[in-house]
């Protein structure tokens, strides 16, 4: 599996280290442009257009963008789980429960085979 850090693919997330909700920094990181110019464009739009539409748009972007993951996502399954968790925590918890239930069933099946009376320990240990 290729790591996301190697491929350079990132999602659009709000930065946890941004000044005001991390929207500008998240957009700058996603588009791989300078944070200074991203903030300059946002402030320019705020000054040269009506203030309220830009403020509302900024707040809407902050609400719609998912927060940046605390730890970097390494695989596609990590990314899928993070996206499902930020969308719906209950669905992510159900998914985890299904995974652990499946693992529990597999362990019980292996345990029943190994602890059966017919299991030949002497032959297995001498191999």
Over residues 16-62, the pLDDT tens digits come to 888 889 999 999 989 999 999 999 999 999 898 888 888 888 999 99
The residue range of the domain holding 20 is: 10-68
Q: Which of 47, 68, 89 is the last residue of a domain?
A: 68
Q: Are residues 25 and 38 in the same domain?
A: yes
User: What is the mean predicted confidence (pLDDT) over 111-115?
Assistant: 81
User: What is the mean predicted confidence (pLDDT) over 79-92?
Assistant: 75
What is residue 10's predicted lDDT score, i.e. its pLDDT?
Answer: 66
Residue pair 9/62 in contact by the 8 Å Cβ criterion: no
If we measure between CA atoms, which residue out of 104, 20, 31 comes closest to residue 62?
20
% of the chain beyond a pLDDT of 70: 89
- Whether 94 maps to a domain, the answer reads yes
Answer yes or no: pTM beyond 0.85: no
What is residue 34's predicted lDDT score, i.e. its pLDDT?
Answer: 93
Q: Are residues 62 and 80 in the same domain?
A: no
Q: Is the pLDDT of residue 2 over 60?
A: no
Distance CA 28, CA 25 (A): 5
Q: Are residues 76 and 62 in the same domain?
A: no
Both tokens assigned to 31: 């588009």
What is residue 66's predicted lDDT score, i.e. its pLDDT?
Answer: 82
Q: Are residues 82 and 116 in the same domain?
A: yes
Cα 59 to chain centroid, rounded: 22
- How many structural domains is the chain composed of? 2
Q: Which of 18, 46, 68 is the last residue of a domain?
A: 68
Q: Are residues 103 and 114 in the same domain?
A: yes
What is residue 4's predicted lDDT score, i.e. its pLDDT?
Answer: 43
Which band of pLDDT confidence, cut at 50, 70 and 90, is reported for residue 107?
A: very high
């Amino acid at each position: 599996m290729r790591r996301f850090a190697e491929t350079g693919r990132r999602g659009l997330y709000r930065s946890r280290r941004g000044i005001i909700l991390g929207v500008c920094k998240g957009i700058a990181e996603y588009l791989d442009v300078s944070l200074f110019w991203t903030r300059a464009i946002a402030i320019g739009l705020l000054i040269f257009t009506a203030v309220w539409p830009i403020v509302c748009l900024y707040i809407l972007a902050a609400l719609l963008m998912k927060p940046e993951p605390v730890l970097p996502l390494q695989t596609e399954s990590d990314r899928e789980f993070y996206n499902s968790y930020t969308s719906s925590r209950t669905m992510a918890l159900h998914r985890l429960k299904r995974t652990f239930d499946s693992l529990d069933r597999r362990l019980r099946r292996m345990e029943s085979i190994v602890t059966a009376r017919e299991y030949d320990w002497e032959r297995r240990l001498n191999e």
